[in-house]
Amino acid sequence: MKLSLLLLSTLAVALPIAQQPASEYNQLLDLINNQDLEKRDISGQPTIVMFTDNSTISDKLAHVKAIIGNDHIEKLYDVSSTEKGAGVAGYVGTFSNETLALIADAGCISIFQEDIIVKGLGLEEDLEERDSSIYTTESGQPWHLGRISHLQNPRNTPQASEYVYRTGTRDTNIYVVDSGVRTSHVAFGGRAHWGANFNNDVDEDEHGHGTAVASIAASISKNAQIYAVKVLGPQNTGSLSGILAGMEWAINHAAGQKGQSVINMSIGSDSTEVYKTLIQKALEKNIALFFAAGNNNEDACTVSPARFAKDFTGVFTVGASNLADNMEDWSGYGNCVSMVAPGVAISSASRRGDDVWTSWKGTSMASPIVAGIASYWMSIINFDLPSLEWVLTQSKGLVNTHNNTPNILAWNFHP
């Protein structure tokens, strides 16, 4: 009997264990990664497709199986999640009319639309010679740093060029989804890193918008790590699908970093819903998002992604003010704007050299000012998004706004 039991146990060890079937999430990834490239049609207009919030991984797998039976999915938008498959937000590809009809009828799809061109919302004003110590000293600073660190406007006083701030010790990260960043510029002091490129094959800032935006945020949050996510090219434009890919990358990368993170997107296009899913994924991970309100004197509720600030806690859309605390006439306005911040004559780093400075205007410059203040506060205190929103909206009644724009001016809480 003992011999028989021993023999059975030996046989049990020797017999091969039945292989467990791959999870539905892994099956989905395998389908995407092993598509038939002959089905790829690059002649048409790409279409962005987003899943509904209540779609299960089973729904998504079945849908993708049906799609790639006919066509090719270029990219899956997948935000990392401990619950496998919950982070799959959507996909982009170029599809036949037959496949588009299938997508339109799918119950698991919330929205689909053609890819569009999105542009940066800043204008370079001129080049200027500046001392490289501009980002390392408290005196002799640009006007916008003086303005945000004084409750009352210090214009025409010695305090106008003084940036007053507390020193934080917590790790923070700022993701600049833009035209790239000249990471070697002295403005960053080694804190800027190339993250990813979803526009072309040139891993550098070919326009200058992204370098300027990044340096503005970095000058306020002195210890933040800056990550360049290139989605705009030499003309300061890029595809919506590429911008969504940049958002996805930033959200996933932030999950693996120390400290809290913010994402700045100084870009805009006509109103579209497709940003919504990835915005929600970022907020679920306590990542705040900052958007430019637009530069065409239009209601920010008609601009995306600016329109989403009124829908979510932790999303901020920023208009532009000037040295006299007047909201600029060209700034995006309305109740989709969270606050205004300096947006004219903003001194910033240039892409043209490691010690070259330039001046920009636009809500593209106002947005990273508030993103920088948020990161600055995160370096001092660990914030949840409702608390962060409270801190960022306490400077009230000090700026002349218009068209129902909230009377809130960016401020770092120094008296």
CATH of domain 134-392: 3.40.50.200
Q: How many CB atoms lie within 10 A of CB 62?
A: 15
Of 87-101, 109-123, 267-281, give the lowest mean pLDDT range: 109-123
Q: pLDDT by residue (tens digit) across 370-408?
A: 999 999 999 999 999 999 999 999 999 999 999 999 999
Please check the confidence at residue 300 and state whether its pLDDT lies above 70: yes
Beta-carbon contacts of residue 348 (< 8 Å; ≥ 6 apart): 187, 211, 212, 213, 215, 216, 357, 358, 359, 360, 365
pLDDT band, residue 138 (cuts 50/70/90): low
In tens, the pLDDT along 77-107 reads 999 765 678 899 999 998 988 899 999 999 9
Which residue intervals of the chain bear CATH 3.40.50.200? 134-392
How many residues does this entry show for the chain? 415
What pLDDT, on the 0 to 100 scale, is given for residue 179? 98
In this prediction, residues 209-220 reach a mean pLDDT of 98
Residue 275, pLDDT > 80, answer: yes
pLDDT at residue 11, rounded to an integer: 34
**Catalytically active residues, by annotation:** 178, 209, 364
Confidence of residue 68 (pLDDT cuts 50, 70, 90): confident
Mean pLDDT across 354-365: 97
**Architecture in CATH for domain 40-114:** 2-Layer Sandwich (3.30)
CA neighbours within 13 Å on the CB side: how many for 277?
Answer: 25
CA distances from 160 to 219, 365, 372, 397 (A): 16, 19, 19, 20
